[in-house]
Amino acid sequence: MAIALLRSEMPEREQASTIETVQPTWLTAEEAAALLRVHVTTVHDMCKRGELQAMKAGRDWRIHPQGLKAREVADPATSKLMNEAAELAATRAATLVLQGLVSAIQRELAHQQFELAMPR
């Protein structure tokens, strides 16, 4: 005959371990992508290929943080490569923004020069 104990009747040590095993802290794909510094779609693909310890929750993926830590430790070259790719993408994005600003300033200056040249 099994006896079910209420959580309040369990010793504190056992309560903590029971809670941890029942409800591990799973990350969303967005959170994992931010930690890995990749796009969310990349995280979805990694989950599908089994590269991350993950489970499907409806339409969403839940990723276990231990899998992320193991991935970083197991493959530091890939982590370095991903960091460099993220830096390159950020640099390209910043370059495009600055080019857009330069174009807008040039158009505004041309417009002002045109306005000044027009007789009133």
Asked if residues 26 and 64 have their Cβ atoms less than 8 Å apart, the reply is yes
Task: Give the predicted TM-score (pTM) of the model.
Answer: 0.42
What's the Cα-to-Cα distance from 42 to each of 33, 47, 93, 119, rounded to whole Å? 8, 9, 19, 59
Tens-digit pLDDT profile for the chain (120 aa)?
344 444 555 555 555 544 444 455 888 999 888 888 889 999 999 999 888 889 998 889 998 888 777 665 556 666 677 777 778 888 898 999 999 999 999 999 999 999 898 887
Listed in order, strand segments (DSSP E) in the chain are 27-28, 54-57, 60-63
CA-CA distance, 22 to 7, in Å (whole number)?
13
